[in-house]
Amino acid sequence: MTTTNPVVDAARVELLLNELRLPSIRLMWAKLAEQSDKEGWPAGRFLAVLAEHEIADRGRRRFERHLIEARLPAGKTLASFEFEAVPMVSKAQVMALAAGDAWLNKGANILLFGPPGGGKTHLSAALGLALVENGWRVLFARTTDLVQQLQVARRELALESAIARLNRYDLLILDDISYVTKDQAETSVLFELIAARYERRSMLITANQPFGEWGKIFPEKAMTLAAIDRLVHHSTILEMNVESYRRREALDRKRGRGRPAVHATISQIENAEN
């Protein structure tokens, strides 16, 4: 009677697993095989445990990749967002948006309006983070930075492919669209981007003013209207017309020290902010 050779060519197994791109299995199979042999696991159980580890690690690695590529400002989460400070924004609605499915699948948009300090950047970054956690791909950008990149692409006759590369993101967050400068407006790359994503890929846009000042973002009035038309067609508009959170916080600190807020001057408040 011949016995099968129990020696496994470990180097070869690792090579194969490498070839199959199964890094987690490659890391743990030897130790798990030892345990499995010792405890007499059925072969199927051994395989299932390995596969489950690979899948779980794959999910984690994907999340980490998506988080890095999203370039979200650090530390802005829905958990740290005080919804009481913006009573006109419904927490339930924002939580529903954070799931993504209902609007990202059809390329709908979110428009977030409000004065400086009202929490637009915080809320949009927090939404972005929640969406990445839920498996969506997001890119956060200051609008002026992205427009600048697209202008460079345009000069190199590569605008179309630059916009196409952004298609991989389910959501593009354009923070502070109204800060686009006059010379940036003249090239209309922003309009090209909006037109290309219309009804296909979502955008979240923040601005200090709802549409009133958008005339300077685009080179001509007809284009401004066409851009607004496309953005609002399938959109959720959130208005955050609240006093600056920073200013209020500073005011609260003054109050905390027993100084009545009415006596605090603007410059005192600003000193407290720094």
Residue nearest to Mg ion (CB): 121
Token duo for residue 107? 């390329």
Q: Which residues, at least 6 apart from 247, have a Cβ–Cβ distance to it below 8 Å?
A: 117, 269, 273
| Residue whose CB is nearest to ligand ADP in the complex, by number | 119
Contact flag: residue 178 with Mg ion (CB under 5 A) = no
121 vs 178 by CB, closer to ligand ADP: 121
Q: Shortest distance, CB of residue 237 to ligand ADP, whole angstroms?
A: 15
CB of 253 to ligand ADP, least distance (A): 13
Amino acid at 248: R
Q: In what order do the strands lie in the sheet with 109-113?
A: 138-142, 171-175, 202-207, 109-113, 235-239
Min dist. Cβ of residue 85 to Mg ion (A): 15
* Nearest to 239, CA basis, from 91, 97, 113: 113
Min. distance of Cβ 126 from ligand ADP in angstroms? 9
> Residue 156 has which token pair?
């190199």
List, as one string, the DSSP characters of 193-205. Answer: HHHHHTTTSEEEE
Question: Cα 130 from chain centroid?
Answer: 8
Minimum CB distance to ligand ADP smaller for 26 or for 120: 120
- In the list ligand ADP, Mg ion, none, the entry touching 26 (Cβ below 5 to 8 angstroms by class) is none
Residues near ligand ADP, by CB under 6 A: 76, 80-82, 85-86, 114, 116-122, 245-246
- The binder of Mg ion chosen from 24, 36, 121, 124 (CB under 5 A): 121
Applying CB under 5 A, which residues contact Mg ion? Answer: 120-121
